[in-house]
Amino acid sequence: MKKSRENKKFKKIAFYVFLLIIMIILILILIHYFFASLFSWKGHQSYINSKEIYSIESWMSPNTIFRYFNISEDELFKELNISKTNSNLRTPLEKICKKNKIDCNLLVKKLDSEVKP
């Protein structure tokens, strides 16, 4: 009977240690994702704020392009072949191009040529 109690106690401790390890791993993954996103966002903000004359980049979202370039929404959505939704406004051009099987480099060059002064 003593061994049975010790065995149950060991299993209980092992289970909680396993849960603790899983939680620590998930927390580390979330921290990594947070800092990667933060540094990416800071890099994009510094790029936008530091340049006086700059071009459209593939990491930019349609929302960013509307804000900083003089391109109409209708033209951009027509070129991208997507509808105007909140998720599409925040999706980078790279992902939209990959999803719609569009050559992103050609699209960026074409959009750059359509920028109105």
Q: Please say if the pLDDT value at position 1 is more than 60.
A: no
Whole-prediction pTM value?
0.61
The percentage of the chain sitting over the pLDDT mark of 70, rounded to a whole number, equals 93
Which structure tokens are listed for 4?
């049975």
Instruction: State residue 52's pLDDT score.
Output: 63
More confident residue, 23 or 1: 23
- Work out the mean pLDDT of the chain and round it to a whole number: 84
User: Angle CA(51)–CA(84)–CA(86) in degrees, nearest 5?
Assistant: 75
Cβ atoms of residues 53 and 47 within 8 Å: no
Residue 45 neighbours by CB distance under 10 Å: 10
- Please name the residues in contact with 37: beta carbons below 8 A apart, sequence gap of 6 or more: none
Q: For 47-102, what is each residue's pLDDT tens digit?
A: 777 766 577 888 888 888 888 888 888 888 888 888 888 788 888 888 988 888 88
Cβ atoms of residues 56 and 77 within 8 Å: no
